[in-house]
């Protein structure tokens, strides 16, 4: 994607320094003890927080188990996030063929990248920060309202070094001017917010785990796959089954709790393989039901993004050619500044249930990005007209419905932990999501009616899709918009909800995140989020993980 010729010497230098001066922390172990007080499964966004905070208690022992190893230096460069997909640090999941969407993708299949290694998906995401809207939490169970989480939000905003896009960004300024438009009401337009420190990625791996990994009561076991949760006859957790890198198998006991932080896909898969889930589903794979929890793997949801390419005449966007210039490269590697130090998300807007992100990149690399998304060639070129022009000025509006109603599932493909589960987000299954997304697209278009955008020659590109040519090429036409949405809507990577938290008996976990019908088993990851966040969920997960620790140790926060 990027011209590495210009930076090869710097890359070599960084790599040498990384390997020469990176000292192995004392918490990283090759062989675990026989038992621990707490076992945390998964070192992702939430797992790093949970393990770090638990190990602050000096008289308890904590084991953090992670299926992958370390992320390389590329993950530290914010704008290079896509380069990590389909590598050894990505689970590289694929979704089930979609019935109502994804018609512009090969076999109607989209990819579902998930981080595999210390830091998890927080080491390869786009670092966009959001706590959503207060009303997002209205239906959440007791103790998880916006008011309840507000102290944790403030704490996380400080720890995670939340910052906004640079003041001098031209596209951001033009975007914010739309707040004065008479055609827009009840809108929120903000600079892009992200978690970056000194020009580098700042995830919970850096903010939490690295601060803890020289504690003697914390052990971190890498390249070890947890394949089962052992339960006693009374449905109390006994421990975990681990497959080590060399293929050998071991059992590690938990005295107090096992806390699953394996993620929205791996957590329900592990529960089902351990006999926790719908007995009807488990019977299909001859798995003995230990606890019949019908909703394990259900309630899966995601934001479906519609990429709107906006052509520009002015030289105000990020292009591949600009990124490949020596001054831009040196500005980052020497001073930690410039476009490499950003995620290119320059603006975020909300209007009712309509959401939009301004992604300020004008040119894309077809060879890589088409492969990562699984777009068909014709569809990709229709949505991204800069596919063959590295100097083209423009940007993307990523429009989406903030509160989608469609719900899908994560289910077993086989009884083998190494076989990917079935991931079906059921995009656009609910017709209301089409109208909601149509409104989001037109909200994005309305923001272009500003003096600055007119000066820049901003003009929306309408994709020339074979499936939609019989319709007026106008986003104000609901039929055309629906056609475009069903062809090219793209995952936002915000998959959540597969082990829903709730006060009702059907919820997978209760208000304390304890798995129903099982003693000593808790979940803290994106799977427990009961309903969508009106924005990116990563920062919300960090706040939830902080509160989870207070629940475990029965502590209150001021």
Strands 162-164 and 35-41, bridge-based pairing: unpaired
430 in Cβ contact with 101 (< 8 Å): no
Quote the crossing angle between the two packed helices 45-54 and 538-552, to the nearest 10°. Answer: 30
- Identify the bridge partners of residue 237 per DSSP, sorted by sequence position: 231
Which phi and psi angles does 157 have, rounded to 5°? -55, -35
User: d(Cα 405, Cα 29) in Å, to the nearest integer?
Assistant: 44
346 in Cβ contact with 362 (< 8 Å): no
User: d(Cα 80, Cα 72) in Å, to the nearest integer?
Assistant: 12
First to last CA, the chain: 48
DSSP run (H or E) holding 298 = none
Q: Which residues contact 274 (CB under 8 A, 6 or more apart)?
A: 228, 229, 230, 231, 290
Strands 276-277 and 291-292, bridge-based pairing: parallel
User: d(Cα 14, Cα 251) in Å, to the nearest integer?
Assistant: 39
> Which listed residue (100, 129, 206, 494) is catalytic?
494
**Alpha-carbon distances of 499 from 19, 271, 274, rounded to whole Å:** 39, 10, 15
Task: Tell me how long the chain is.
Answer: 558
494 is catalytic: yes
How many other C-beta atoms can be found within 10 angstroms of the C-beta atom of residue 12? Answer: 10
Q: Which residues contact 410 (CB under 8 A, 6 or more apart)?
A: 264, 265, 268, 269, 297, 300, 421, 422, 423, 424, 498
Q: Half-sphere exposure of 542 toward its Cβ, with a 13 Å CA cutoff?
A: 34
Task: Produce one character per residue of 415-430: b if its CB has 16 or more CB atoms within 10 Å, e if not.
Answer: eebeeebbbbbbbbbe
Which residues are marked as active site?
A: 494
């Amino acid at each position: 994607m990027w011209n590495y010729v210009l930076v090869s010497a710097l890359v070599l230098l960084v790599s040498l320094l990384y390997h020469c001066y990176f000292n192995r922390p004392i918490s990283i172990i090759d062989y675990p003890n026989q038992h621990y007080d707490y076992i945390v499964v998964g070192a992702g966004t939430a797992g790093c927080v949970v393990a770090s905070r638990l190990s602050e208690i000096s008289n308890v022992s904590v084991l953090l188990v992670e299926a992958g190893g370390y992320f390389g230096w590329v993950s530290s460069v914010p704008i290079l996030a896509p380069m990590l997909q389909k590598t050894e640090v990505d689970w590289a999941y694929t979704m089930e063929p979609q019935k109502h969407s994804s018609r512009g993708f090969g076999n109607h299949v989209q990819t579902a990248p998930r981080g595999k290694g210390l830091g998890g998906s927080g080491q390869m995401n786009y670092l966009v920060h959001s706590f959503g809207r207060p009303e997002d939490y209205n239906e959440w169970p007791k103790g998880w309202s916006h008011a309840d989480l507000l102290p944790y939000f403030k704490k996380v905003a400080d720890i995670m070094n939340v910052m906004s896009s640079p003041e001098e960004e031209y596209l951001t300024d033009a975007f914010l001017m739309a707040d004065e438009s008479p055609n827009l009401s009840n809108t929120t337009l903000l600079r892009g917010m992200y978690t970056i420190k000194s020009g580098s990625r700042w995830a919970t791996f850096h903010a939490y785990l690295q601060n803890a990994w020289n504690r003697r009561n914390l052990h971190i076991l890498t390249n070890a796959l947890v394949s089962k949760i052992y339960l006693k006859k009374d449905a109390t957790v006994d421990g975990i089954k681990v497959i080590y890198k060399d293929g050998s198998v071991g059992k590690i006991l938990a005295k107090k709790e096992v806390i699953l932080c394996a993620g929205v896909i791996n957590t329900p898969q592990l529960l089902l393989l351990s006999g926790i889930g719908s007995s009807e589903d488990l019977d299909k794979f001859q798995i003995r039901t230990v606890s019949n929890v019908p909703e394990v793997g259900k309630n899966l949801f995601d934001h479906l993004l519609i990429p709107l390419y906006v052509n520009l005449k002015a030289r105000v966007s990020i292009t591949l050619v600009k990124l490949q210039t020596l001054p831009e490269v040196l500005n980052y590697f020497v001073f930690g500044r410039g476009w490499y130090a950003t995620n290119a998300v320059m603006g975020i807007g909300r209007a009712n249930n309509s959401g939009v992100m301004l992604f300020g990149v004008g040119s894309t690399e077809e060879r890589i990005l088409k492969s990562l998304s699984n777009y068909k060639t014709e569809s990709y070129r229709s949505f991204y007209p800069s596919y063959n022009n590295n100097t083209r000025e423009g940007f993307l509006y990523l429009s989406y419905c903030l509160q989608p109603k469609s719900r899908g599932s994560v289910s077993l493909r086989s009884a083998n932990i190494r076989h990917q589960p079935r991931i079906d987000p059921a995009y656009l299954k609910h017709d209301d999501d089409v109208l909601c997304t149509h409104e989001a697209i037109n909200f994005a278009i309305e923001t272009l009616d500003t003096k600055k955008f007119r000066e820049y020659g901003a003009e929306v590109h309408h994709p020339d899709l074979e499936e939609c040519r019989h319709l007026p090429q106008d986003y104000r036409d609901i039929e055309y918009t629906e056609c475009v949405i069903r062809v090219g809507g793209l995952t936002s990577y915000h998959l959540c909800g597969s082990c829903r938290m709730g006060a009702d008996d059907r919820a997978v976990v209760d208000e304390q995140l304890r798995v129903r019908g099982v003693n000593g088993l808790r979940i803290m990851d994106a799977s427990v989020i009961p309903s969508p966040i009106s924005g990116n969920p990563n920062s919300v997960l960090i706040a939830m993980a902080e509160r989870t620790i207070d629940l475990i140790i029965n502590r209150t926060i001021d």
